[in-house]
A and B are shown apart, each in its own frame.
Chain A
Amino acid sequence: MDTHHDAGGTLNLRLRLQGITKQYPGCLANDRINLAIEPGEIHALLGENGAGKSTLMKIIYGVTKPDAGQVYWQGNPVTIKDPATARRMGIGMVFQHFSLFETLTVTENIALALGEDAGDLKVLADKIRTVSQRYGMELNPERHIHSLSVGERQRVEIVRCLVQDIQLLILDEPTSVLTPQEVDTLFITLRQLADEGCSILFISHKLKEVQDLCHSATILRAGQVTGDCIPAEAGATNMARMMVGDDTPISTDYPKAEGGEVFLKVHNLSQTTEDPFGINLKNVDFEVRSGEILGVAGVAGNGQEELLAALSGETLEAQAEEILFAGEPAGHLDPKQRRQRGLGFVPEERLGRGAVPEMSLKDNGLLTGFLQGLVSNGFINRVATSQFADKIIDDFNVKTPNQQTAAQSLSGGNLQKFIIGREILQNPKLLVAAHPTWGVDIGAATAIHEALIRLRNDGAAILVISEDIDELFLISDRLCAICNGEISPSKPTQQTSIEEVGRWMTGIFDTETHAVAQESV
């Protein structure tokens, strides 16, 4: 553990945390955490989901109070009683989930966040324009939030912090909603801010980004600091070990496959949504072969939800032929009929769609497993249902006291293993998985990836929609991207690159061969 800060430099530190401890019911979220950030330093807080990163930053931002420990700001002990206090001290925070009003303009949103400090709206708008230009984040203060892309919305949140006198900027997983190109732009801004003396606390679980950007890193595991390091010098494997511990396998490579017959064919799928903030699907065209994994990259909110609902049968198509299962029209079939034809489905929301939060795992097995002989003559076969739940728990190593445990009391990773297990044990011919490892620890993510690869090797067609581009490169045999309701052409994973997929994600669908001819943005 690194202690050199404590000796003489305490007064020069921007922020120092000492012995921060926070207990939640049933979970010690932060256990005697020490952390020090110097002025102008970009400091990474690295850890898996559930390691305690969010709790710690909420404590710094005054959202949560620690049970024990002391926060020092510019060398003085302080108690940050609420976010307004934190803002006045010069702490700004960009949350993972933005809190913006869609129907208001950029200026109005920022004014709301600033409260009384906002002042005159015109002056504020000018200030927003100046600040955003200065840091290379083009932003029109007059625009309404709903017309902005996710990347632009993040800029609004960052600019909101910058219009005030800021000394410490906290960013929670800021890159998870950005394309690779947008990530590069963000990093330029952050480096410029740091050069001007602003400290940055960068929260992430992605090692590569941390190595690219951060001067130093503090690594958390299960609420405790497991190490401090200089990311550029410490190897990625070392940092990963500190994150996950010694007994968890770290994901490796998987052999790619070619696939056989086309099982799912989506042909000219177009759909107009009634939701004013929804995305229309435009001539979506793709195929998934049995025995291959097709990965669909894309920034959230580009039509993934609409595409998933069209595939699951939650929304039905006007033209049955727009979706074909093994050559048979399926666009008009409801979710149950699609399941009968071999569909398995892992939705994005684990609780609230994939599983009923307050119901037991046994009942949640029945939720989609009811076609597997668990119901006879309208009555639930309780023995079979119980065995099905136990089989999922055993085969997929779900850590739970028993099958009577409510779905909501499982960790994200365990519940996801249960849901994926439930779908896989129904022997789907087609599995559609949305963000299969979102918010899941590395150990569970590896287990999920291995399960998907096994299912592929058994001959199922698999479609994975994810925002995690590294994951898609790891498990997909072919890749494409979705942008604003349109889908890019696909390419075998080995023949494409992160840069090309990144371009697809921004809507530039030309392939390298005729890139010049179709330059159209």
Chain B
Amino acid sequence: MIKLVPRGERSRAMAYMSPVFAGMLTLLTGGIFFATLGLDPLHALSVFLIAPVSDIYGIAELCVKAAPIMLCAVGLAVAFKAQVWNIGAEGQLLMGGLVGSAVALQFGEAEGFWILPTVLISGMIGGGLWGLLAAWLKTRFNANEILTTIMFNYIALYLLLYFVHGALKDPDGYGFPESALFSDAATLPILIEDTRIHIGILFALFASVSIWVLMQRSFIGFQIKVLGADANAAKLAGFKHKHLVWIAMVISAALAGLAGASEVTGPIGQLIPSISPGYGYAAIIVAFLGRLHPIGILFASILMALIYMGGELAQIELNLPLAVTALFQGMLLFYLLACDVLINFRIKLKTAATNAAMGN
């Protein structure tokens, strides 16, 4: 019989190893899954995980996909540290993309170095305000932010669809639900010629460093951590609960907004109905997989980006549906949660004979 025995103390080693175990278990299960579909598991896994990054274009593409995930996830890490469960990165990303696009389209073909920053900041504000709405509902009416942010995701999606089919639709676009292409001044510069890699990845890295400084060195970050770890201690110390919830929410939402604005001004270049294949949801998994730490999130974002690319390639080369991406994401989260049990518990194998009955 397998028994879980409390360790007595949190195992730090297991906290770091758990994502690794989860990754390996996901690979193993993925292999079994491919085998049952009649595919050679090793070949399928290599198509899924190695082939996508076998050339410079693939690596560049990996960065393109990792950037928005990383931006969302480092922001979510701040909110989650405060025990503010923002599930709404997707909606905040969409709002960032929508507001950013609306601003970018206003400039038309105008030139100027200030156009791009204006567009990006508008996206951050759009996403940030979308998050603040949920924060306000939480602190004012005690509305559960998990529910409100999920619902806001749908509202954001339909707002985006409304505008892309309406006010923001390209008048010369033959009726397709797409905006006009943004001007060069409102488009993110490409880093490497002939690839799609753009400076959005630098935003993501810069955001990671900033968040690390915020959480490790600043007093605000300290208060956020105390609030999350022990709300009563935070209250007794005089930390302002509402302010901290707002700050945590606005940081995570603004970064998601930046991710959205970077997508429309970067690889997409216009506003379209589907600007995110669920990056905001994937970022939740990434944030936990990365242990809410910027460095962990960096690696986890790359893995998640790889799963996105692998899913696309598996569709082409192996005739598998795109749902395989969601399947791998789900397995990863499932195994992570399961392995996390081992941080506080250890497995003890015991024989059945120890259950002695009472004498007398």
Residue in A closest to B9 when the chains form the complex, CB atoms? A409
On whether the beta carbons of A80 and B358 are closer than 8 Å, the reply is yes
Contact partners of B222 in chain A: CB under 8 A: 363, 366, 380
On whether the beta carbons of A335 and B217 are closer than 8 Å, the reply is no
**What does the 1/0 interface line of A327-368 toward B look like (CB < 8 Å)?**
000000011111100000101010011111111000100111
Instruction: Mark the stretch among B134-142, B150-158, B230-238, B260-268 that contacts chain A.
Output: B230-238
Query: Are A26 and B8 CB-contacts (below 8 A) given A335-B235, A353-B232, A355-B233?
Result: yes
Between B9, B226, B358, the greatest number of chain A beta carbons within 10 A of the residue's beta carbon is seen for: B358
Minimum Cβ distance to chain B for residue A205 (Å): 24
The answer, yes or no, to whether B220 is at the interface (CB within 8 Å) is yes
The answer, yes or no, to whether B359 is at the interface (CB within 8 Å) is yes
On whether the beta carbons of A24 and B8 are closer than 8 Å, the reply is yes
The answer, yes or no, to whether B43 is at the interface (CB within 8 Å) is no
Contact partners of A367 in chain B: CB under 8 A: 226, 233, 237
Contact partners of A470 in chain B: CB under 8 A: none
Query: Are A78 and B7 CB-contacts (below 8 A) given A352-B233, A375-B219?
Result: no
The answer, yes or no, to whether B357 is at the interface (CB within 8 Å) is yes
Query: Whole-angstrom distance between the alpha carbons of A25 and B5 in the complex?
Result: 10
Query: Whole-angstrom distance between the alpha carbons of A338 and B217 in the complex?
Result: 26
The answer, yes or no, to whether B229 is at the interface (CB within 8 Å) is yes
Residue in A closest to B217 when the chains form the complex, CB atoms? A379
Query: Are A378 and B237 CB-contacts (below 8 A) given A76-B359, A81-B357, A353-B232?
Result: no
**What does the 1/0 interface line of B213-228 toward A look like (CB < 8 Å)?**
0000111101001100
* Residue from B7, B9, B238, B356 within 8 A of A334 (CB atoms): B238
The answer, yes or no, to whether B10 is at the interface (CB within 8 Å) is yes
On whether the beta carbons of B233 and A354 are closer than 8 Å, the reply is yes
Provide the main secondary structure of the chain A interface: mixed
Minimum Cβ distance to chain A for residue B241 (Å): 11
* Residue from A25, A85, A380 within 8 A of B217 (CB atoms): A380
Contact partners of B6 in chain A: CB under 8 A: 25
Contact partners of A79 in chain B: CB under 8 A: 356-359
On whether the beta carbons of B358 and A352 are closer than 8 Å, the reply is no
Query: Whole-angstrom distance between the alpha carbons of A284 and B297 in the complex?
Result: 53
Minimum Cβ distance to chain A for residue B330 (Å): 29
On whether the beta carbons of A379 and B218 are closer than 8 Å, the reply is yes
On whether the beta carbons of A353 and B230 are closer than 8 Å, the reply is yes
Query: Whole-angstrom distance between the alpha carbons of A81 and B226 in the complex?
Result: 41
Residue in A closest to B8 when the chains form the complex, CB atoms? A25
On whether the beta carbons of A313 and B232 are closer than 8 Å, the reply is no
On whether the beta carbons of B219 and A76 are closer than 8 Å, the reply is no
On whether the beta carbons of B219 and A370 are closer than 8 Å, the reply is yes
Contact partners of A2 in chain B: CB under 8 A: none
* Residue from A73, A338, A375 within 8 A of B360 (CB atoms): A73
Contact partners of B238 in chain A: CB under 8 A: 313, 334-339
Contact partners of A349 in chain B: CB under 8 A: 232
Contact partners of A355 in chain B: CB under 8 A: 233
Contact partners of A359 in chain B: CB under 8 A: 225-226, 229
Between B240, B356, B359, the greatest number of chain A beta carbons within 10 A of the residue's beta carbon is seen for: B359
The answer, yes or no, to whether A314 is at the interface (CB within 8 Å) is yes
The answer, yes or no, to whether A312 is at the interface (CB within 8 Å) is yes
* Residue from B219, B230, B232 within 8 A of A379 (CB atoms): B219
Interface residues of B in 325-360 (CB under 8 A from A): 355-360
On whether the beta carbons of A358 and B218 are closer than 8 Å, the reply is no
Interface size on B, residues (CB 8 A): 28
Minimum Cβ distance to chain B for residue A46 (Å): 27
Contact partners of B236 in chain A: CB under 8 A: 312, 314, 335, 345, 347, 353-354, 368
Query: Whole-angstrom distance between the alpha carbons of A123 and B238 in the complex?
Result: 54
Query: Whole-angstrom distance between the alpha carbons of A373 and B130 in the complex?
Result: 37
The answer, yes or no, to whether A136 is at the interface (CB within 8 Å) is no
On whether the beta carbons of B233 and A353 are closer than 8 Å, the reply is yes
Query: Whole-angstrom distance between the alpha carbons of A356 and B81 in the complex?
Result: 14
Query: Whole-angstrom distance between the alpha carbons of A337 and B237 in the complex?
Result: 10
Minimum Cβ distance to chain B for residue A473 (Å): 28
Contact partners of B356 in chain A: CB under 8 A: 79, 81
On whether the beta carbons of A77 and B359 are closer than 8 Å, the reply is yes
Contact partners of A380 in chain B: CB under 8 A: 217-219, 222
Contact partners of A378 in chain B: CB under 8 A: 218-220
Residue in A closest to B223 when the chains form the complex, CB atoms? A370
On whether the beta carbons of A76 and B360 are closer than 8 Å, the reply is yes
Minimum Cβ distance to chain A for residue B215 (Å): 11
Query: Are A89 and B360 CB-contacts (below 8 A) given A359-B226, A378-B218?
Result: yes
Query: Whole-angstrom distance between the alpha carbons of A383 and B235 in the complex?
Result: 26
Contact partners of B225 in chain A: CB under 8 A: 359
Query: Whole-angstrom distance between the alpha carbons of A366 and B6 in the complex?
Result: 30
Query: Are A26 and B9 CB-contacts (below 8 A) given A79-B358, A339-B238, A363-B222?
Result: yes
On whether the beta carbons of A78 and B359 are closer than 8 Å, the reply is yes
Between B219, B232, B236, the greatest number of chain A beta carbons within 10 A of the residue's beta carbon is seen for: B236
Interface residues of B in 237-270 (CB under 8 A from A): 237-240
Query: Whole-angstrom distance between the alpha carbons of A77 and B218 in the complex?
Result: 62
* Residue from A25, A356, A368 within 8 A of B230 (CB atoms): A356
Contact partners of A335 in chain B: CB under 8 A: 235-238
Interface residues of B in 147-174 (CB under 8 A from A): none
Query: Whole-angstrom distance between the alpha carbons of A287 and B218 in the complex?
Result: 39
Interface residues of B in 1-28 (CB under 8 A from A): 6-10
Minimum Cβ distance to chain B for residue A92 (Å): 17
Contact partners of B239 in chain A: CB under 8 A: 336
Contact partners of A363 in chain B: CB under 8 A: 222
Residue in A closest to B219 when the chains form the complex, CB atoms? A375
Contact partners of B220 in chain A: CB under 8 A: 378
Contact partners of B233 in chain A: CB under 8 A: 352-356, 367
Contact partners of A336 in chain B: CB under 8 A: 237-239
Contact partners of B226 in chain A: CB under 8 A: 356, 359, 367
Query: Whole-angstrom distance between the alpha carbons of A338 and B238 in the complex?
Result: 9
Minimum Cβ distance to chain B for residue A141 (Å): 32
Minimum Cβ distance to chain B for residue A498 (Å): 32
On whether the beta carbons of A314 and B359 are closer than 8 Å, the reply is no
* Residue from B8, B217, B230, B235 within 8 A of A314 (CB atoms): B235
Residue in B closest to A312 when the chains form the complex, CB atoms? B236
Query: Whole-angstrom distance between the alpha carbons of A494 and B355 in the complex?
Result: 59
Query: Whole-angstrom distance between the alpha carbons of A349 and B235 in the complex?
Result: 13
Query: Whole-angstrom distance between the alpha carbons of A259 and B354 in the complex?
Result: 64
18 contacts between A and B (CB under 8 A): A25-B9, A76-B359, A79-B358, A80-B358, A85-B358, A313-B238, A314-B235, A335-B235, A335-B237, A336-B239, A352-B232, A353-B230, A354-B236, A355-B233, A363-B222, A367-B226, A370-B237, A380-B217
Q: Which 6 residue pairs are nearest across A and B when measured between Cβ atoms?
A: A336-B238, A25-B8, A335-B238, A356-B230, A353-B232, A375-B219
Extra contacts, 10 of them, besides A79-B356, A379-B219 (Cβ < 8 A), are: A78-B358, A78-B359, A81-B356, A336-B237, A356-B233, A357-B229, A358-B10, A375-B219, A378-B219, A382-B217
